[in-house]
Amino acid sequence: MAEQPEAPAAAEEVPVQTGPKGVVLIGALVGTLLLGGAAGVFAIGPMIAKKAGYAVALHPDSAVHGGASVGANAEGGEHGSGKEGEGSGGGGASNLHLIDNLVLNPAGSGGARFLMLAAAIELKEAAQVEELKARDAEVRDVVLRVMGAKTVDQLSAMANREALKQELGDSLGALFKRPRAIRRIYFPQFVIQ
């Protein structure tokens, strides 16, 4: 029997060269995708949402009150600084202050449950909005104290919602030494988990 000559081993194994150039290229592609996604979420997304009208109305008659919405806060800047409307007299949107991004644990939940809350406070006079903004930390503390004293059952019952607003209004009125300064309180965000 005749033996077959062996083929050179180098011909069968072709080395694949993956050097630093391949890693840099992949890293650049991933970085570009991440930067593009971040730009879309933080820069382009809010503009598209604003144009599409995805703002949540605070009041069913918001067209009558100057069209104030939670989305209007996007131009307001800091947390809790609601945008004041340009509506004329009679109250409404020009007297509205939004306190958002409140998260608390209800009483008796042992930290296992939480309430995510935004409260819009409508005042009787537009001048009072500036005082409310100046004392934002105190206002947030009152809201957290009042709402945090309630149990999950008390917070989740829709029948209690108006009583919660009344108690919160009374506590805020006592803070400002004007019991009748607050016209109405709205909860545009009220999520219990």
pLDDT at residue 79 in the model: 39
The two tokens of residue 159 are 């029948």
pLDDT at residue 62 in the model: 37
CA distance 119 to 176: 17
Give whole-number Cα distances, 65 to 60, 113, 116, 117, in Å.
10, 35, 26, 23
The one-letter code for the residue type at 123 is L
10 Å CB burial of residue 72 (0-12, 13-18, 19+) is buried
The two tokens of residue 149 are 């004293």
| Mean pLDDT along residues 47-75 | 43
Report pLDDT digits (tens) over 115-155.
999 999 998 888 888 888 898 999 999 999 999 999 999 99
Please provide the average confidence, as pLDDT, over all residues in the chain: 73
Per-residue pLDDT at 63 exceeds 70? no
CA distance 53 to 71: 9
CA distance 103 to 105: 7
Question: For the stretch 81-97, what's the b/e string if a residue is b when 16 or more beta carbons lie within 10 angstroms of its beta carbon?
Answer: bbbbbebeeebbbbbbb
CA 140 to chain centre: 15
CA distance 52 to 72: 13
Q: For the chain, list the strands marked E by DSSP.
A: 96-104, 115-123, 182-192
Output 92 or 100, whichever has higher pLDDT: 100
Share of the chain above pLDDT 70, in %: 61
CA distance 188 to 118: 6
